[in-house]
A and B are shown apart, each in its own frame.
Chain A
Amino acid sequence: MEISQLLKGVLDLAVLAVLSEEDGYGYDVLRRLRQAGLDEVGDASVYGTLRRLYKAGLLTSYVVASEEGPHRKYYSVNEQGRARLAESATTWRTFASTMNSLLGDPR
């Protein structure tokens, strides 16, 4: 099964989770997702997801000037975003445990 297929459904959740630990700019979020083991995540899809979450009012953004290189736009999870994260996390855990019990123990 393609992980990229699974990712489509949970990329929102993953991005919210990463940002709830610490604010970050686009590339930073991507890097942290990869560090966490999600190697398949597409570069551009992270930026698209960030914009979508932002437009949905779950993220706020602020610009930080940087001495080396261009200024960076940081994203931060707001109250609404945290509520969504909690809700989605519950949904995911329920779903994952259902799938686990359905699949049984790996032999």
Chain B
Amino acid sequence: MSTQTPPAVRAYLSRVRTALADLPTAEVDEIVEDVRPHLLEIAEGLGEAATVESMTEQLGTPESYAAEVRATGDYPPAPTEDTATTEDTGPATAPARLAVWSLVLGAFALGLVGFALGSDLDDGVLFGLLVIVPVIGAGAWFVWAQGTSPVAQLPEIKALRDTLRTKAGPALRQLRLMAPAWWVLCAVVLALVALLLVVKSRHAIIGLPLFVAMAALALWAGPRTESDRRLLWASVPVSVFVLAVGAGLVTYLAGSIDRPSDDYPYNYTANTSYDGEPALNYGDEELDNLYVFDAEGKPLTDVYLYTADGRPLTVPRYGCEESTETRVTTGRDNKFPRPRIQQGGYDDQGNYNGYNAYRPDCAESDKVPFTAAIPD
């Protein structure tokens, strides 16, 4: 089939293509499709001697060939070389450049929205799309109407493509292989996020059509981007959005695992003391001490506590350090109640905890600070 297109025909056609580059890509494709069988026949006639030069002898230069197609096909005249650099492409490159930037900035903003959406699962950020989608849409409209050749002619895009081709060729080929799976993954992630949002708050159902539309776009535009570069304006934003939502979701999940650390900055989890050892907890409250009473309400002393499987309930024991008059950890055991540690300060007059207290004081007390009324 067309794989055996001789190099001369390919070279000739590519020059025709270049000469017609300002026309919509689809139209150029049609023309090339008409012309190719003819060129093949001519090349066949020439046999070994088929070169661009020998074909030019029969047909004229590819450029004049293109000009003839242009004239008889009622296509707009080619932008001439000298005006191309000064007047004509001045206004022509500006919209192309805008289209590129609408895509780059739009995709970037979509990424931010996607990340915020994934990490908070708050659909409020979707209102940002009201700005972003028209921006990308304007760029998409431009390339849809004009074809991608004005964009492809931009020097920065040419440079980018050359660098990509030389530096990242194998990686790109790898990506191309995975592309079909990627578009399906996009649709799945979008559906998943839409579901999560609806589960989280009912009114998010309003955003549902948006996600359905985006998933459809991924499935439709994604695989076609390879052959129709105009669809980059759809597939790139969707891809960036899905990637960002995914990254956001990962941080959301990571955040929900160690969320308590936000509330108690000194505890790694609610169930360990500040030094990371196991602590006693009653609900959210960490317990330093336990008081134990018998049936008559008499406080018990020297009680040893064990867990259901016989492990001693060992927690840090605190005491006063005399030199500094501060509370320190003196050891670990499972004997309750602990002495109560009272920390305060004295002022010059010996008043305890007065307004001018500056000498620290730490005192241990074995007294039970309350009495318990045991219900019958």
A-side interface residues toward B, CB under 8 Å? 11, 25-27, 30, 42-52, 54-55, 69-73
Contact = CB atoms under 8 A, between A and B. Distances in A.
Contact of B34 (A45, A51, A69): A51
10 closest residue pairs by CB, A with B: A48-B72, A48-B73, A44-B68, A26-B34, A27-B38, A70-B2, A45-B72, A48-B69, A51-B73, A44-B65
B2 to A, nearest CB: 4
Nearest to B1: A70
The A contact surface, by secondary structure, is helix
Nearest to B34: A26
A44 B58 CA distance: 12
Given A70-B40, A73-B33, A11 B5 contact: no
Contacts of B75: 48
Contacts of B72: 11, 42, 44-49, 52
Given A47-B31, A49-B73, A51-B30, A42 B68 contact: yes
A73 B38 CA distance: 12
Contacts of B41: 27
Contacts, number: 76
B1 A47 contact: no
Contacts of B66: 44
B74 interface: yes
A52 B73 contact: yes
A69 B74 contact: no
Contact of B37 (A11, A51, A69): A69
Nearest to B70: A48
Contacts of A30: 38
B59 interface: yes
B68 A25 contact: no
Contacts of B5: 70
B88 interface: no
Contacts of B71: 45, 48
A69 B38 contact: no
A74 to B, nearest CB: 10
Contacts of B34: 25-26, 47, 50-51, 73
Interface in B348-367: none
A7 to B, nearest CB: 10
A43 B31 CA distance: 12
